A = this chain, B = another copy of it.
């Protein structure tokens, strides 16, 4: 599939380095069932509630990173990314919340699963402790994977039937509106890679790969209704 946004060299390097982890999501049973429309609504509900919590942490990571960049354009882009995580995607939750039976209070009272909490804290800690490049590399796999996955699934399926139970989800992430977002994000990876020494670049690639693994582990926690070991 040719993607409608440019992938600068360092982003490509990250993706190749994390090839297996990035690619694994495309065949995760959760994803396949979601695309087919056969996914148990209870499992999707579990996923959505965890996802809402995740997006708050995504916002946190963007917010912290926004304090570190010097360029006001980068600062605003990151604040906008934080805002989008909280606002735009929460609209998706609003819709599914009504049909699947959950709301802000359900989300607030749900403990994140181990895989979810691990991913959240990975992004936040990296944004705080790491270089700017590492911060961007921690958050990039989430939108990148969702956009590629959304476009891949829609392309594979052709048109999405209106009665597909997860039409809103598929439509949202295959929205070409995300292409600009991705172009902006990946060009910033390049910009900061160009300013970063080799060791720190290698750490950033490791961080990127960990986030790719966490993406797969996120499907996994939803698919298995993951619980903490001793509860």
Contact = CB atoms under 8 A, between A and B. Distances in A.
Of A59, A67, A68, A82, most buried by chain B (CB within 10 Å of CB) is A67
A83 interface: yes
The 6 closest A-B pairs by CB, nearest first: A121-B121, A118-B118, A63-B63, A21-B230, A60-B67, A20-B230
Given A56-B75, A79-B63, A79-B79, A24 B230 contact: yes
Interface stretch (A29-37, A153-161, A209-217): A209-217
A122 B124 contact: no
Contacts of A117: 118, 122, 210
A203 interface: yes
Given A21-B228, A21-B230, A229-B213, A129 B68 contact: yes
A129 B60 contact: yes
Interface of A: 20-21, 24, 56, 59-60, 63-64, 66-68, 70-72, 75-76, 79-80, 82-83, 86-87, 90, 104, 107-108, 111, 114, 117-118, 120-122, 124-125, 128-131, 195-197, 199-200, 203, 206, 209-210, 212-213, 216-217, 220, 228-231
A116 to B, nearest CB: 10
B83 A87 contact: no
A83 to B, nearest CB: 5
A87 B77 CA distance: 11
A228 B206 CA distance: 12
Contacts of A70: 108, 203
Contact of A129 (B67, B122, B199): B67
Given A20-B231, A76-B87, A67 B124 contact: yes
B66 A59 contact: yes
23 contacts: A24-B229, A59-B79, A63-B67, A64-B64, A67-B128, A67-B129, A72-B90, A76-B87, A79-B79, A79-B86, A114-B118, A117-B122, A118-B121, A121-B122, A121-B125, A124-B129, A125-B125, A196-B197, A210-B228, A213-B228, A213-B229, A216-B229, A220-B229
